[in-house]
Amino acid sequence: MNLILWRHAEAEDGSNDMERKLTSRGHKQAEMSARWLRKHLPDDLRILVSPAKRTRQTADALDMKYDLVPELAPGATPESLLQAANWPEGEKNILIVGHQPTLGAAIRMTLTGTSGPWTVRKSGVWWLARRERGDDSQVVVRAVIDPDHL
């Protein structure tokens, strides 16, 4: 199973968190990350997106079908994110477009088994894969993408 976590791109400030839009820089970040993702994503992919406007706009840069998942909204827990992805038992390849600090905490939990913060840059992508080696289940970091370096 591949679990690909994509943080929304740069968004405007605002008091209504769910309606914050991407800035012009954010649109460029989303497009750069989406261009890389389109080249590398598996065919059997399911995309789950927070219902916040900035995450929908980020996901729209992919120009692929996605599902809105209320459990991924700002303030979600890392546990709810991993449950939405059915990690690590799932058989599918999942891309989640979401928020900090949830994404970072889910990455830390997945990689280290501990809770706490972990930084994910705006429009950054973390690609994790689960594999079996004999009786051992392992998590492999396949890619970490920073749109400023694309």
Smallest CA-to-CA distance from 7 within 89, 106, 87, 90 is with 106
Residue 73's SS3 state is coil
Tell me which architecture the domain covering 2-149 has in CATH: 3-Layer(aba) Sandwich (3.40)
Residue 9's SS3 state is coil
Domain positions in the chain: 2-149
- For residue 58, the one-letter residue type is T
Q: Residue 133's pLDDT is what?
A: 82
pTM for the complete prediction?
0.96
Spell out where 22-135 has E strands: 45-49, 67-68, 93-98, 125-133
For residue 47, what are the CA distances in angstroms to 6, 13, 34, 68? 10, 26, 13, 9
Structure tokens at 54: 């900035």
What pLDDT, in 10s, does the model give residues 14-72? 999 999 999 999 999 999 999 999 999 999 999 999 999 999 999 999 999 999 999 99
